[in-house]
């Protein structure tokens, strides 16, 4: 009976200054000693790897993310399990697996983890079998290895379903404008939101407060007021 492996894949979302929701991806190194018909074709993936036999899932997710991206001490939450028996069987994926694993054809069940970060506070660096680390807009995600495109789709569905103002406060800088907050919600919900109604609803719910600071580079030369979220225990 063949062995069944367990892995974790981490979907890290961030919201950049260009007002786009992004996900953290890596490109994977190839073993230079192995010949590959896919040589010089970058394989892009989510940060992920197998867990160790003596390891629990949550510590494994933290270890793997740090080992591939140098990102540490962020909150990671399980959101789905992916167990398709053929999820690692594609030829291009097998070529890469054969260069790094003793038994590349063994089945792998993966647990998806999601996290939200303020991009300004993180400078990921590639290590281990990651060749590059990059933030990629969700509407520009290329074809990924294994079933990682599906994992991101499920993570977006989870984020859309669970979206609340606490999540928004994690993704945005401490001081943000109303257009930034609206754009963030539009990116996650994948739909346009009426500006006037959104503003009324947000202010009515009392979860943000106006600051004395303004963004002097606002549209049409009109300064944009900065807001902050109320303390967590207030909403």
Tens of pLDDT along the chain (235 residues)?
A: 568 899 999 999 999 877 889 999 999 876 555 545 545 567 899 999 999 999 999 999 999 999 999 999 899 999 999 999 999 888 888 887 877 777 878 899 999 999 999 888 888 988 888 889 999 999 999 999 999 999 999 999 999 998 887 888 889 988 889 999 999 999 999 899 999 999 998 888 888 888 887 766 655 566 788 899 887 554 4
Give the separation between CA 70 and CA 65, rounded to whole angstroms: 7
Q: Which residues of 103-122 are buried (b: 16+ CB within 10 A; e: fewer)?
A: ebeebbebbbbbbbbebeeb
Domain with CATH 1.10.10.10 in the chain: 165-234
Q: Taking a C-beta distance cutoff of 8 angstroms, is the pair 14, 119 a contact?
A: yes
pLDDT score at 91: 86
3-class DSSP state of 77 = strand
Q: Residues of CATH 3.90.79.10 domain(s) within the chain?
A: 4-162
CA angle 224, 225, 226 (to 5 degrees): 115
User: Among all chains, which residue has been given the structure tokens 């109604």?
Assistant: 197
Give the pTM: 0.87
Q: At 183, is the secondary structure helix, strand, or coil? A: helix
> Could you tell me whether strands 208-215 and 176-177 are parallel, antiparallel, or unpaired per DSSP bridges?
unpaired
Residue among 171, 72, 69, 158 nearest 117 (CA):
171
C-alpha 42/C-alpha 96 separation (Å) is 11
What is the assigned CATH class of domain 165-234?
mainly alpha
Chain centroid to CA 153: how far? 11
- The two tokens of residue 76 are 């990671």
First-residue to last-residue Cα distance in the chain: 52
The residue with tokens 């030369």 is: 221
Dmax (CA) of the chain: 69
Q: Which fold has domain 4-162?
A: Nucleoside Triphosphate Pyrophosphohydrolase (3.90.79)
């Amino acid at each position: 009976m063949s062995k069944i492996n367990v892995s974790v894949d981490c979907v890290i979302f961030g919201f950049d200054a260009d007002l786009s929701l992004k996900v953290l991806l890596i490109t994977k190194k190839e073993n230079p000693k192995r010949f590959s018909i896919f040589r010089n074709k970058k394989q892009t993936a989510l940060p992920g790897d197998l867990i160790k036999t003596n390891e629990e899932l949550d510590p494994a997710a933290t270890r793997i993310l740090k080992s591939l991206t140098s990102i540490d001490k962020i909150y990671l939450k399980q959101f789905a399990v992916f167990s398709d028996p053929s999820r690692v069987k594609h030829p291009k994926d097998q070529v890469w697996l054969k260069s790094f694993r003793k038994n590349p054809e063994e089945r792998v069940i993966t647990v998806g983890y999601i996290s939200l970060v303020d991009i300004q506070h993180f400078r990921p660096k590639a290590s281990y079998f990651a060749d590059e680390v990059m933030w990629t807009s969700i509407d520009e995600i290329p074809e990924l290895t294994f079933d990682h495109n599906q994992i991101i789709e499920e993570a977006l569905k989870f984020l859309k379903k669970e979206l609340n103002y606490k999540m928004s406060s994690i993704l945005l800088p401490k001081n943000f404008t109303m257009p930034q907050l609206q754009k963030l919600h539009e990116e996650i919900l994948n739909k346009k939101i009426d500006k006037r109604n959104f503003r009324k609803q947000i202010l009515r719910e009392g979860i943000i407060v106006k600051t004395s600071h303004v963004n002097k580079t606002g549209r049409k030369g009109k300064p944009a007021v900065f807001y902050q979220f109320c303390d967590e225990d207030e909403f």
